[in-house]
A and B are shown apart, each in its own frame.
Chain A
Amino acid sequence: MTDNRPILQASWRVRQQKIGAILLVLVGVGMVAALYLSLASQATLLGREIQYLEREISSTREESANLKTELARLLSYEASQARSDELLFRPAKTTEVHYILVPGYDGVHPVDFSAAEVSEADINFLPVEYSQSLFEWASIQVRGGDSQ
């Protein structure tokens, strides 16, 4: 004779499972919240750093403007003339000037500030990691190459 009574879980086990599930959900929510909090705080810190850097840029630009002006005053016509007078220099007369032929020299040309800007950009180039994709970076690493 077969006993067909259904086997019921003990009520304490059911409660434990429910509590476990709730705890699992709570832990999950907690982890998501912690992650969100972490990212939000990082974003805030970065935002604050950007604000700080913006102020730094602004103050550096003002300092740069001050230094440029100061340098221009030191190199001004009046200051240069005073220095040359102190050193007993005087402007040459046309009859005192001797011209020699220098191959390749074709005179003084007006200033080109573009060239200066380009060289500055060359110095401050970004590492390629900042522009390459993750796959590009990974493939270079696998090949054992240098991303630079």
Chain B
Amino acid sequence: MRKAFAWRSFSLASIFAMIGIVIVVQMARIQLSTEAAEFREEADRYKGWVENIYPARGEIYDRNGNLLAGNHSVYEVGVTLDNIENTQSVASILSSVLDLDYVDTLNAINNVDDEQIYLSLMDYASAEEVAELQRIQGDIEDDSASDEAYDSLAGVNFREHLARSYPENTIASNVIGFVNRSGRGYFGVEEKYNDLLAGVPVQVWIPADPNRVEEIPQVPDGTTLILTLDRELQARTEEILDQSLYNYGAKAGTIAIMDPRNGEILAMASTPRLDLSNYSAYDQIFDNVSEYNRAINMPYEPGSVMKILTMAAALDSGVVTPQTSYTDTGAYSVSGATIRNWDRKSWGNQDMTGCLQHSLNICLAWIAVEMGPDSFYDYMSEFGLGHPTGVDLSGEAGGRLKVPGDGDWYPIDLATNSFGQGVTATPIQMMMAASAIANDGEMVTPHILYGMLRDGQQYDFPPQTAGTPISKETANTLNEMLANSIVGEDDGATISGYRLAGKTGTAQIPTEFGWYSSDETNASFIGWGPVDDPQFMIYVWLERPTTSIWASQTAAPVFAEIAEETVRILDIPPDIIRMQYAVEQ
């Protein structure tokens, strides 16, 4: 009896064991089958995805915290191909709302690879366009619930991402530059600090498994920059520049304002300007890249503003003193060539202040010859002529200072260079050189970056000196001479309540044939103030003014207008108030 039961038990056990073995074999067979490999491959697709993470581009602020360049949301509009229900409908609606070509859109959707699952149809769609598409999508869904709807936007996706935005449009556009759709900065700060602003884009594997969420790296945003610009001053400078071009019939112009104590650029206006929200108009506005920011990109013969550097060198080397007398006979021969004054007249006996006040070419040429080429060019090189200043804006030009030994240098150049002919410099180079006179002999490197914000910490940049080409005594002496010379000769450049120093520059423009045009000039003015404590330096350059060729009648009044705005916006009290304050302190 027990044996019979044992046999039954054994049979049942064998059957279950066989079933077990069959299950295990089947499991192994399924696991090793080709279908399993395909399923595994399919499953891998949903494990996660590779994504390029582009950090948000750093913002740009002015010195008072006004946003000059920020970011705003735009959308990539694409289609998930398998989910499309009606290709014609998708192409039709997208082309009408997004202003795309219907046929091109339809062809793009129909002519995709078999393996392709997603197709991007447009990037940088605005929030309004996407809202309109979502509204249509909603309407279609409502309609389809009630009757047979033909239209369908099924499969259309929107991916939000950030793009550059310029709330001030054209203001400071020549300094800021712009960012194209591939995220690369062009011109100005956007190009110079592109790597800092853009951050480091990374390609990361994003696991779908929530348990692996820690594997997703945190990508820090780009660095936020704070510029030395003052938005109000910049805007007013641009307004005055535009009005000046109109008033004086000038072809183009630039005005730059710098703090001569530390090289901070407070405003830098140049014409023409680009609306940064519509940077694609660049080609229609500019003929070449050097026009983007004339203050740093375009060297020119500065003319008589150069005389302040010649005088500084002569005073510092001891060749002349302010009291040195010179008899101007109206002509001065150097190496067989005759130098004449701007008015082709003789001015008789003059001291050095008179030479500057009346802007006498002959006097300055005599000074340069007295100094000799070695000493003169050493000083000019010390002032930074012929070299870029190192201003932190992209595309700075270095100008040209021919020196003895160069193939195209002739002895006459020593005389002409002394009053700004035959030598080229950008406005920013002239400002850097003149900063030595306004700043006790110490020259400062102009810069646009005030500080940067990273990980919640602001790092401010200390001012950098660019050498000491002249002594403090020379600087102070020349400062006084220029302050005295501006009164009387260039009354148009003075403002009530403030003692300013400065110099005009009317430079004939060299033609392509090698001689100077008689009726076209570059009108310039460089000045600073208050003389006892210079807090701003202004450079004005009007290109080819037509109402008058003289800087004293064009650039000088513009300087005065800018100076008046500068003291108001920067809260610089009149001299008498400052003196009283100093006494009370």
Contacts and interface: CB of A to CB of B under 8 A. Distances in A.
A76 B33 CA distance: 67
B66 interface: yes
Contact of A47 (B165, B210, B224, B567): B210
A77 interface: yes
Contacts of A114: 453, 456-458
Given A62-B160, A76-B171, A94-B496, 18 more contacts: A43-B211, A44-B211, A45-B210, A48-B210, A50-B213, A51-B213, A54-B213, A59-B160, A66-B72, A69-B71, A75-B66, A77-B171, A91-B236, A94-B495, A110-B228, A113-B226, A113-B453, A114-B458
Interface in A43-100: 43-48, 50-51, 54, 59, 61-63, 65-66, 68-73, 75-78, 91-95, 97, 99
A5 to B, nearest CB: 28
Contact of B167 (A61, A73, A92): A73
A117 interface: yes
Nearest to B161: A62
Given A65-B70, A65-B72, A94-B497, A113 B458 contact: yes
Given A43-B211, A54-B216, A110 B63 contact: yes
Task: Determine which residue in B216, B236, B453, B581 has the highest number of CB atoms from chain A within 10 A of its CB, and name it.
Answer: B453
B567 A101 contact: no
B232 interface: yes
A118 B226 CA distance: 18
Closest CB pairs A-B (n = 8) = A47-B210, A111-B65, A72-B167, A72-B67, A117-B456, A114-B458, A110-B63, A65-B71
B564 interface: yes
A45 B209 CA distance: 11
B210 A50 contact: yes
Contacts of B224: 113
Given A47-B213, A77-B232, A111-B64, A69 B458 contact: no
14 contacts: A47-B210, A62-B73, A69-B71, A70-B72, A71-B67, A72-B67, A77-B171, A77-B232, A94-B495, A94-B568, A95-B497, A110-B460, A111-B65, A112-B458
A78 B231 CA distance: 11
B93 interface: no
A121 interface: yes
B169 interface: yes
A43 B232 CA distance: 54
B162 interface: yes
B13 interface: no
Nearest to B64: A111
Nearest to A120: B456
Nearest to A57: B218
Nearest to A53: B213
Nearest to B70: A69
Contacts of A75: 66
A44 B208 CA distance: 11
A144 interface: no
Contact of A111 (B63, B165, B209, B567): B63
Interface string B544-559: 0000000000000000
Given A94-B495, A114-B458, A65 B66 contact: no
B571 interface: yes
A101 B584 contact: yes
Contacts of A121: 456
A78 B568 CA distance: 19
B404 interface: no
B432 interface: no
Given A77-B168, A77-B231, A114-B457, A68 B61 contact: no
Contacts of B577: 99
Contacts of A142: none
Interface in A109-133: 110-114, 117-118, 121
A117 B72 CA distance: 22
Given A62-B160, A77-B168, A107 B571 contact: yes
B235 interface: yes
Contacts of A48: 210
A108 interface: yes
A59 B235 CA distance: 34
B240 to A, nearest CB: 12
A110 B450 contact: yes
B496 A65 contact: no
Contacts of B56: 61, 65
A91 B70 contact: no
A108 B495 CA distance: 23
Contacts of B216: 54
A69 B226 contact: no
A113 to B, nearest CB: 5
Interface core residue of A94, A107, A121 (most chain B CB under 10 Å)? A94
Nearest to B497: A94
B67, B209, B224, B460 — which one has the most chain A CB atoms within 10 A of its CB? B67
